[in-house]
Amino acid sequence: MTRLFIILSAATLVLVAVLAASKNSQEQTSGVSAPAPIVHDQALLDELQGRYKNVSKQLSQFMPRQPYILVDTARNHLYVKRSHEVILDALASTGSGIVLDKPGEGNNQWVFDTPRGEFSVQSKLTHPVWVKPDWAFIEEGLMVPKNPADRVEQGVLGEYALGFGKGYFIHGTLYTRLLGKNVTHGCIRLNDHDLKSVYQLARVGTPIMIF
């Protein structure tokens, strides 16, 4: 019994030593921070504080001064924000993440994601019409029409549309019951009321941040 106690004690000591050794400069862990040192060199502290303040100011110069659009694709919300203030919080529908094979192009596929990153409003349209791309026909098992006029569909995008590049738009929808879900081909859908508000708040050039 005594021997077992000695062995266990020795093992514990070794473990403690190992843990202590591993807590050197090669590793940092949450909840462990050194106490802030007492600084006697006020000039050094002033200089460091000044540098920190200057760089903070430099960074703040890049922040949007005007309202900007923020889209959370995971939770399907679109916000219009001014600085830290939320001006509008709208339920949205964003990309489904589903794929569709491009016929005759081997492994090429359309991926129906809403793109992530920073974009800007490039165009503002009223009474937009949908010029259906190839995938809209192929996913329904239809032939892609040769006549461009056969691609035009009216009244499905709502009263307004805001383009943000590469064929992506913020627009309205007939399927308001699907708001809050990832169901689109990459565009961002809103209900009529929220779409009108976004249209009025945004200008060409308004930043759109999507994550």
Partner 1 sequence: MPFQAAIVLFLVLVSTAWGADYDAFPDLHRDDPAALREATRVLEEEVKLAARPQTYLLFDLPAGAVRIKGRGVDLHRIDILRWTASAPQQLAGTFRLTARPPVVRRKIDPSATTEQEPIALADMPTDYRLSFTPALLVEIQSAREEGVVQRTLSSAADLWQRLKAWGASYTHQPSPPEASITLRLSVEQAQSLAWSTVDGMALIVRRLPNP
Candidate ranges 108-116, 154-162, 168-176, 189-197; the one touching partner 1 (CB under 8 A)? 108-116
Q: Which of 172, 189, 95 is nearest to 129 (CA)?
A: 172
Q: Is 112 helix (H, G, I), strand (E, B) or coil?
A: coil
How far is Cα 111 from Cα 132, in angstroms, rounded to an integer?
A: 16
Q: Which residues on adjacent β-strands are paired with residue 152?
A: 131
* 207 near partner 1 (CB under 8 A): yes
Q: How far is the CB of 109 from partner 1 (least distance, A)?
A: 8
Q: In this chain, which stretch among 112-120, 153-161, 188-196, 197-205 interacts with partner 1, using CB under 8 A?
A: 112-120
Site for partner 1 in 45-84 (CB under 8 A): 45, 48-49, 51-52, 55-65, 68, 70, 72-75, 83
183 binds partner 1 (CB under 8 A): yes
Contact set for partner 1, span 11-30 (CB under 8 A): 15, 18-19, 21-22, 25-30
Determine how β-strand 94-95 pairs with β-strand 182-184.
parallel
What are the distances in angstroms from CA 25 to CA 33, 34, 36, 130?
A: 12, 12, 17, 60
- With respect to partner 1, which residue has the nearer C-beta, 64 or 132? 64
